[in-house]
Structure 1
Amino acid sequence: MLVSPRDVLGRDVGPDVRVQFTSLRGPVVRSLSLGSDGPGTTPHVVVLPGLGLPFYTIPTARAIASRGLACTVLDLPGFGSNLPRPTSPSIHAAGLLAARWIEARRGDRPVVVLGHSTGGQAALTAALAVGVHHRRLALVLAGTTFAPEQRRLDRLVRATPFAYRDDRLDQIDPMEVWRGRTGILAMLRSGLHDAPEERIARLTAPLTVTAGVHDAFAPLAWLDQLALAATAAPSVRTSLLGGSHNNLFTHPDEVADLVLRAAADTTSE
């Protein structure tokens, strides 16, 4: 099913964005897709946004599509429209439903799961679930939250002004924030209670960890901790890019180039 992006997103994201709906035997997942699938060996990129706010990820999704890869942003847990939410507002619920979407829509096609911020925590959940029987998979964790020292609200608040130093107000759709409201707080609480450095040890897919160089939520020491903890991953790369926390909006080409490298990991022997 296709509808106008403006009708359901609130802000005009351009005619190249296709709004789609996928029924997963109950939940209906809304997604924003760019690019077109090539041969069955061409990787598909699936994006999980931070705090369930999809709008700011569109520049990176568009940059990925311009490099010849199809890209789909999943609106999970569902703050991007007025439709009923397909899942509860928690990182693990969003990640598990994302895994179901990947299994239903992508089949045997190689997949890169790109998760940003709390969406990175959800993407790890999805990759662990999908990776059980889908071997052509890579995971990109961008600006992943939360470093152990930031899992207290007072410490997180102190880091926040420094995390967004290179970002702009126009990267956020106010309607998504309004729709999310208490759900966004629930996503935040869910992320604060997670320990991705423990779960990532079970990841058996190629891993990329990245963040903006000025992202106080994802300092280099935290990226290194995640990379070192991924002991079962066949390959791990760490990369600092331009910008701060929301560099998917401000530096989309840099992020897309890194995702393209991760896509090559899914097709290499």
Structure 2
Amino acid sequence: MTGREVGAPPPRAVAVTSAGIRAGTGVGTDVVFLPGMAVHRYLRRTQDLVARQARAHLVHLPGTGQAPDAPWPAGLAEDVTATLDWLSANPAAGPLVLVGHSYGCQVAGRIAAAVPNQVTALVLASPTIDPAYRSWPRLVTRFALESAATPARLGRMQLSEQRRAGPRRMLAIVRSMLADDPEEALARVHVPTTVVRGEHDRLCTERWARRLADRPGGSFVSVEGGIHAFPYDRPEALAEAVKAYLPR
């Protein structure tokens, strides 16, 4: 397995951490992880598990992680464009599997709809934003409930990452999340799709997750005991859903 490689993006672009046993060989499957709101480190363990079987790329969206600062206001549309620019400059040599978590599901859905000939499968983990919570008061309440259930170590790590993004960037992301209809983009996606939800997710109801999975080639996975950020302490649950789309 190769070491992690961090791309050197142009201004206003994403940064991408890549790993995998086939990295740089020109063969195999490319898996692209699109993380939650202004964070990414919690997905590294999942990335490493998938990297044993494929090239795995973890995206740092503009203004987050090691990516350049984002132009303000930059929300969902800008994140989709920046990721599509990276995909165009770094075309996959083999099948492309998109994996979104939380806010990343909204990014992944739009990308899959924009480049249907490049994406062969879609994995949506803890998708947002559930129509039941698609308003500021309801969303703030659900965030508070989820934060109370989040492990303290994860909370500290994500707070540090979100400080890097800054309050204006965070606000722009949330506004764009609330204005988006994920189901509209997914209606234009016609590849096998797996929806993975933690059993105790406070931001995504099981009913909505199952509705997103109710499509040709769709499947639903419930992670026992999992919260919204279940990949942090249950990385194998998400990794197994992704590996189902990888060659053995």
**With structure 1 as the length reference, what TM-score do the two structures score?**
0.81
Q: 1:69: Cα distance to partner? A: 1.6
> Would the aligned equivalents of 1:121 and 1:144 in 2 still touch at CA under 8 Å?
yes
Matched letter for residue 176 of structure 1: E
Task: Report the CA distance between 1:22 and its aligned residue.
Answer: 3.8
Name the aligned partner's letter for residue 241 of structure 1: V
Post-superposition offset of 1:72: 0.8
**What are the residue-to-residue correspondences of 1:249-264 with 2, within 5 Å?**
249-263=232-246
1:128 counterpart residue number: 113
Alignment RMSD: 2.4
Residue 222 of structure 2 aligns with an amino acid whose one-letter code is L
**Residue 147 of structure 1 is aligned with which of 130, 143, 164?**
130
Mapped contact 1:209–1:223 kept (Cα < 8 A)? yes
- Looking at structure 1, the residues matched to 194 and 91 of structure 2 have their Cα atoms a distance apart, in angstroms, of 21
Pairs within 5 Å for 1:1-269 = 16-23=3-10, 27-37=12-22, 40=26, 42-65=28-51, 67-81=52-66, 83-85=68-70, 89-131=74-116, 133-134=117-118, 137-164=120-147, 166-171=149-154, 172-181=157-166, 182-228=168-214, 230=215, 234-242=216-224, 243-263=226-246
Cα deviation for residue 86 of structure 1 reads: 7.3
State the shift of 1:158 in Å: 2.2
Once residues 73 and 43 of structure 2 are traced to their aligned partners in structure 1, the CA distance between those partners, rounded to angstroms, is: 21
The count of residues paired between Structure 1 and Structure 2 equals 242
**CA shift at 1:142, angstroms?**
0.7
**1:208 shift after superposition:** 0.9
- The CA distance in 2 between the partners of 1:191 and 1:46, in whole Å, is 20
> Separation in 1 of the partners of 2:227 and 2:9?
33
Using the aligned pairs only, state the percent identity: 29
Aligned letter for 2:163?
Answer: W
Indicate how the Cα distance of structure 1 residues 86 and 63 shifts in structure 2: closer, same or farther if over 3 A, else same. farther
CA deviation after TM superposition for structure 1 residue 174, in Å: 3.7
Q: Deviations over 1:132-189 (max 9, x none)?
A: x32x521111101111120111111222244356531322244321121221121111
Aligned mates of 2:143, 2:160 — CA distance in 1: 22
The unaligned stretches of length 5 or more in structure 1 are 1-14
2:67 and 2:58 map into 1 onto residues whose CA distance is 17
Q: What SS class does the counterpart of residue 107 from structure 1 fall into?
A: coil
Q: In the aligned structure 2, how far is the partner of 1:86 from the partner of 1:111? A: 28
CA contact (8 A) 1:17 1:34 kept: yes
Contact 1:216 1:244 in 2 (8 A): yes
Structure 2 match to 1:7: none
Quote the residue 1:5 is aligned against.
Answer: none
CA gap of 1:174–1:99, structure 2 versus 1, over 3 A, is same
Deviation, structure 1 residue 40: 4.7
Supply the distance in 2 between the matched residues of 1:197 and 1:30 (Cα, whole angstroms): 27
